[in-house]
Amino acid sequence: MKMMSLKPALAFLGFFLVFPVFADSPLRPPPLPEIAASSYILQDFHSGQVIMEKQADQQVEPASLTKLMTAYVVFTELKSGRIKLEDRVRISENAWRTGGSKMYVQVNTEVQVLDLLRGMIIQSGNDACVALAEHLAGNEAAFAGMMNRMAHRLGLNQSFFVNSTGMPGAGHLSTARDMLKMAAAIIRDFPEYYSFYSEKSFIYNNIKQPNRNLLLWRDASVDGMKTGYTEGAGYCLVASGQREGMRLISVVMGTASKAARASESQKMLNYGFRFYETHQIYPANQVLKTQRVWQGTSAEIGLGLKSPLYITIPRGQYPQLQAQLELKSKIIAPFAAGSEHGKLKILLQNTVVQEQPLIALQAVETGDFFRQSIDYVLQQFE
């Protein structure tokens, strides 16, 4: 085990602290604000640190937040090349007759996938959802099966979908935490399509409809994502914004009105941005520690991280951080690149706040008989 000061390590990696430092008297966040929602969660996108939550695993109707999953499935098909944005989709009578919010497609017309996506995301068009579902899977029930397989793959363990729209249905349920995971997956996996969520309005069939996310008008840092409402769900909102490189995602479920879902989300985002800061501590695939290798074709191996390590902490507490390396006593070949050989822990006031495995950054094969014999003898004196 080895403890090291974080600041010198970061300086070596070319990291520069850009936030104010209050070394003598770190700023302590004030008590969490009261949020008028049945369930909610606020999380940093990069670090995964939850800043506040209440009943985030309670299953509820997701209403039109369902359309995040619908969009993710469509984005996946686009990325695979199985469909294209310019593909034209024939609108069935079933899609045309779909109730609830609409983008007002007309039966038996052909509409581009791009327009249907924008109608679904910006206008929350249920008709657009059904048209896309039928185009991809033949019918909405089959498409719901695609949604549920994707939910399993993404770790949305408390979610089950029976339709593409979010209209009430038996067993159609999710949670605030799962909706946050869904939003984060879109931002992470499909940045090329995320900009749809920031568009404030969309005109289709000579009808202009605004984006229902009021925060797009109120807060310049907010660039998405999705609203929802049914009588059973109440007013819901997934919102995401970015300030000074720090991205937060908030989810509120079961608020009392359109105004409330916006104001409660704003309250959460403001709290997170004001009182917390996020840093990339170490990048991925960079040597953080060199270790001796026994009985291998190489005598040393560089250890690092598979993915960048981010940390979200109360503002002003960065100087209190320390990094702790926990290494295996001996590394013996052969081993593959990516194999784990220890842990890197980040501590704040002696409490572990982030942890990642230390991995081999390259593979090492077993050495020849001479190398194995020499190292075997040397190991006896270790």
Q: Which residues are catalytic?
A: 64, 67, 124
Residue 132 phi/psi, 5-degree rounding, is -65, -40
Helix pair angle (176-189, 140-154), 10° resolution: 90
Residues 14, 16, 20: CA angle, nearest 5 degrees: 165
Length of the chain: 382
Is the distance from CB of 54 to CB of 40 less than 8 angstroms?
yes
DSSP string, 46-59: TT--EEEEESTT--
Residue 241, H or E segment: strand 234-243
What is each CA distance from 327 to 191, 279, 303, 341, in whole angstroms?
A: 36, 24, 10, 6
List residues bridging with 290 in a β-sheet: 302
Q: What letter would DSSP give residue 140?
A: H
Distance separating alpha carbons of residues 114 and 118, to the nearest angstrom: 6
DSSP string, 252-283: EEEESSHHHHHHHHHHHHHHHHHHEEEEEEE-
Helix (H, G, I), strand (E, B) or coil at 124: coil
3-state secondary structure 8-38: HHHHHCCCCCCCCCCCCCCCCCCCCCCCCCC
**Cβ pair 73, 146 in contact under 8 A:** yes
